[in-house]
Amino acid sequence: MKNLRITVNGTAYDVQVEELGGSSAPAAAAAPAPVAAAPAPAAKPAAPAGAQGSVVVKAPMPGTVVNVVVSAGQAVKAGDDLVFIEAMKMETPVKAPQDGTVATVDVAKGESVDSGKVLVTLN
């Protein structure tokens, strides 16, 4: 077992990691060290019964989601605002590339996103 310290969003967690060999039996588990519980991820809105849409709208840049203006099941027209991303103190709207219905909203307000992260899917 290896003891590691992992920092996530400024919170340190002490974890034990077992190295698995090809055919060795697992080692007996040691008593876990007391650690702060990891924050639960934000719940994402459920998609209507159609699952993920065929048109994927991705983040054009890394930043923070400051506003989500659509919800699953909502009809949108080409050019409608879907999500606003803040990067370098500028808010940038991410717009619908075509007419459609929002199938999924894959981000929440306050979430950090990387360039290329799926934000919304449309049918």
Cα end-to-end distance, the chain, whole Å: 48
Do residues 84 and 70 touch, judged by C-beta distance below 8 A? no
51: Cβ–Cβ under 8 A, 6 or more apart, which residues?
A: 103, 104
pLDDT tens-place values along the chain, 123 residues long: 678 787 777 788 788 877 776 555 555 555 555 555 555 555 444 444 445 668 999 999 999 999 999 999 999 999 999 999 999 999 999 999 999 999 999 999 999 999 999 999 999
Fold annotation for 55-122: OB fold (Dihydrolipoamide Acetyltransferase, E2P) (2.40.50)
21: Cβ–Cβ under 8 A, 6 or more apart, which residues?
A: none
Place of tokens 């090809």: 22
| Per-state percent for the chain, helix, strand, coil, to nearest 5 | 0, 40, 60
Residues in the chain, total: 123
Helices (H) and strands (E) in the chain, counts: 0, 10
Rounded to the nearest 10 degrees, how much is the dihedral formed by the CA atoms of 96, 102, 108, 110? 20
Q: What is the pTM of this model?
A: 0.57
